[in-house]
Amino acid sequence: MRQLLIILLTATLLFGWGKTGHRIIGKIAEENLTPEAKAKLTQLMGHTDLARIANWADEIKSDPKWSHANDWHYCTILEGQDYEGPETGGRAVQKVQEFCDLVIKESLSEKDKMDVLRFIVHIVGDLHQPLHVGNGTDKGGNDIKVTWFREETNLHSVWDSKMIDHMQYSYTEYAQQIQLTSTPEQEQAMLDPSIIAFITASRSFHSQVYDIGDGKLGYGYIYKNRELMEERLLKAGYHLAAILNDIFK
């Protein structure tokens, strides 16, 4: 049992935004769909709760049938370079591009369309977590050992879930809180479905994200990074809405 628990805990370290983060993004996107997109998504899903399907792509990681999908959650931009494709590590960008075409393909079964949609919702979210656009040297911060309020963990995990959980909001409360402060500049993201632009933005925040001093993280790190974290969640929700509104016109 103890061993199982350790395996489970280790596995979560590799996940994208934690459950709450993905639900926040789904919820924000949901609230910014056009009426056309909402109607077409309802036809496909039977309901339009993007928050509810946002974590499926992490849940299937325990199913060996899906092991080929493990590198669909991240991409890599090497230091000082532009994005150069999946050769540098991670196929998230290709998969989102491929799935945006697939999800409306007539020949695809309803079940497969649904799976494809679940991947789009999840991966677009992941790519806004700055450490899901890795630098190619430390597994997206998984190799950077830190403490979080004295608990041993790694930098990736702090960004996936520890900071979000620290705020003690439910996902619906947090989705609402974040949108309250959104600016017209941020709302432009609702009109911008281009993937390369937002992975480049994610990567551009690395110097701030990696500014961890002695690695003992807690209130000080949250104080410096809360705004960025919330901005990434907000933009993820808006970009996801832009992508879905563009597909389901």
Report the half-sphere exposure of 83 (CA within 13 A, side-chain side).
23
CB of 226 to Zn ion, least distance (A): 22
- The stretch near Zn ion (CB under 5 A) out of 67-75, 85-93, 113-121, 177-185 is 67-75
Q: Which is nearer to Zn ion, 16 or 237 (CB)?
A: 16
Q: Which is nearer to Zn ion, 135 or 161 (CB)?
A: 161
Task: From 135, 249, 240, 129, select the one nearest 195 (Cα to Cα).
Answer: 240
Work out which of 19, 23, 27, 73 binds Zn ion, going by CB under 5 A. 73
Binding of residue 126 to Zn ion (CB under 5 A): yes
Range 36-55, binding Zn ion (CB under 5 A):
none
The 82-121 contact track toward Zn ion, x by CB under 5 A, reads ----------------------------------------
Range 13-32, binding Zn ion (CB under 5 A):
16
Range 179-238, binding Zn ion (CB under 5 A):
none
Which residues sit at the interface with Zn ion, rule CB under 5 A?
16, 73, 126
